[in-house]
Amino acid sequence: MTVTYQPVIGLEIHAVLETRTKMFCACRLVGSTHAEPNAAVCPVCAGLPGTLPTLNQQAVDYALQVALALSCEVAPVSVFARKSYFYPDLPKGYQISQYDQPLARNGRIQIHTEAGEKTIRIRRVHLEEDTGKLTHLTEGNQPATLVDLNRAGVPLLEIVSEPDLHSAAEVRAYAVAIHNLLRYLGVNSGDLEKGLFRIEPNISLRPLGNAEFGTRVEVKNLSSFRSLEQAVAYEIERQTAVLESGQAVSQQTLGWDEAAGHTLPQRSKEDAEDYRYFPEPDLPPLLISADWLEKARAALPELPQARAARFQKQYGLARSTAETLTDDPAVADYYEALTAASTPQAAANWLTGEVFAWLNQHGLGISEFPLEPAALAELVRLAAAGEINQNTAKTVLAEMLATGQSASAIVAERDLRQISDPAQLAAWVGETLAAHPEQVVSYKNGKTGVLQFLFGQAMRRSNGRAHPEALQAELQRQMD
């Protein structure tokens, strides 16, 4: 009898909080790429002896927003702890984190996949500091490692899920949901490639129906949702093969080799006791008053899932469209401005169709789209009102993007107005039939396919301006 294995997966996500200054000092946050190495470093984040950390209130505010948005219980008292280990990117020899008394616990988030809707439980949300960055130089005869402490002490939020995920698709949906949430709250830039949003899946298998979990591995260094999904799928397959061959999965930390498409061992996993956790003596417990919590709750914006639900109701959009439009808050804002000056469904079609295609093609985000919502709305209105037909509208959009002219100016200047005048349509059809007598004969002999060709010819005579349905009807009338 063959055993069916169930994947069991829990995620640890580290998100850089985009505060003005670092977690425990006044150094500013600099983007990882633009600043000179060690340009934003002081004695505190360099870990010099005798310095003292001071907690960044903005980081706590941000963390509270996330905790509340995830429906967590926020601890009135939480405690920072030292997690000790030696590594050259960690000058203090320990990382300040939260351990047995985190800021928040027991939250949840809704995800949905093709298999349906699901609630994933959040185990904990806590604050910690980031480490520095090492650059290993391998060229030359003397290999060397450079240390950059710009990132040391940058605030991180760690979000740990319960092992409630059971497939690569669910893992992706969960990670995307958290990613969207943080972007909505404006606390994280969401840049995976720059390491500002890091996802580490813990993956194990167990015989389906077993209550007990199997041995897990943890995968590090995933820089896209795609590699996350691939790494999880790969591990499920690998562990299934290990178990089916009668061997045991060994607990370890793995890396993901993007190019090769497989995981590879990094180091065997430390247990918590290796870190010698103890309460940070230089920081008092973090007290969250009822008042502070209320302020954080009051400051919560409309969240992505709520916004998608509202879009469905208020604008009558299909669920998938509402979700596509609310994925990115900037897109949702653009849509609401666009629909205010046009109609909801037409606005949605243009935005998710032509505009998204253009942005994809140029590798740009909506904030870089050259047309203001009001300018695009004019085009959407002209098309919806039948002033220009759909194909012409696409040409006009391209022209707007190329020249910056308004839709109405382009339509007037190039005489693109849609023509529905029956006499005019009848004339174009008549001319077309006269020019193609052979096709007319074959149509009469039952080759109905030529109708498409004749329609195209008649449309061409109109310079693309003919009302398509009316032209089609007129063609049909003259052929019968």
For Zn ion, the binding residues (CB under 5 A) are 25, 27, 42, 44-45
Q: Does 216 bind ligand ADP (CB under 6 A)?
A: yes
The helix, strand and coil proportions of the chain, stated in percent and rounded to the nearest 5, come to 40, 20, 35
The minimum distance between CB 236 and ligand ADP, in angstroms, equals 11
436-470 burial string, b = 16+ CB within 10 Å, else e?
Answer: beebbeebeeeeeebeeebbebbbebbeebbbeeb
The minimum distance between CB 196 and ligand ADP, in angstroms, equals 20
Q: Does 263 bind ligand ADP (CB under 6 A)?
A: no
Window 287-326: contact mask with ligand ADP (x via CB under 6 A)? ----------------------------------------
When CB distances are held under 5 to 8 angstroms depending on the partner's kind, the choice from ligand ADP, Zn ion, none that residue 307 binds is none
Contacts of 282 (CB under 8 A, 6+ apart): 52, 53
Which residue has tokens 């037909």? 389
DSSP letter (8 states) at residue 2: P
When CB distances are held under 5 to 8 angstroms depending on the partner's kind, the choice from ligand ADP, Zn ion, none that residue 42 binds is Zn ion
Amino acid at 466: A
The minimum distance between CB 50 and Zn ion, in angstroms, equals 14
Q: Does 11 bind ligand ADP (CB under 6 A)?
A: yes
Distance (Å, rounded) from C-alpha 280 to C-alpha 52? Answer: 11
| Kind plus residue range of the DSSP H or E element containing 135 | strand 133-137
Q: What is the Cα 62 distance to its own chain's centre?
A: 19
Q: Which is nearer to Zn ion, 16 or 249 (CB)?
A: 16
Question: Please, how many CA atoms are within 13 Å of residue 254, restricted to the half-sphere of its CB?
Answer: 25
6-17 burial string, b = 16+ CB within 10 Å, else e?
Answer: ebbbbbbbbbbb
* # of chain residues touching ligand ADP (CB under 6 A): 16
Residue 262: other Cβ atoms inside 10 A: 16
The minimum distance between CB 216 and ligand ADP, in angstroms, equals 4
Q: Mark out the alpha helices in 205-257 (DSSP H runs).
A: 225-244
Window 120-139: contact mask with ligand ADP (x via CB under 6 A)? ---x----------------
Q: Does 202 bind ligand ADP (CB under 6 A)?
A: yes
42, two tokens: 């002081």
Amino acid at 177: A
Stretch that binds ligand ADP, among 4-12, 167-175, 247-255, 331-339 (CB under 6 A): 4-12
Cβ 308 vs Cβ 319: under 8 Å: yes
Q: Does 8 bind ligand ADP (CB under 6 A)?
A: yes
Which residue has tokens 């382009």? 410
The minimum distance between CB 218 and ligand ADP, in angstroms, equals 6
Q: Which of 162, 257, 336, 387 binds ligand ADP (CB under 6 A)?
A: 162
Q: Does 243 bind ligand ADP (CB under 6 A)?
A: no
The minimum distance between CB 53 and Zn ion, in angstroms, equals 10
Which parts of this chain interact with ligand ADP (CB under 6 A)?
Answer: 8-12, 123, 160-163, 202-204, 213-214, 216
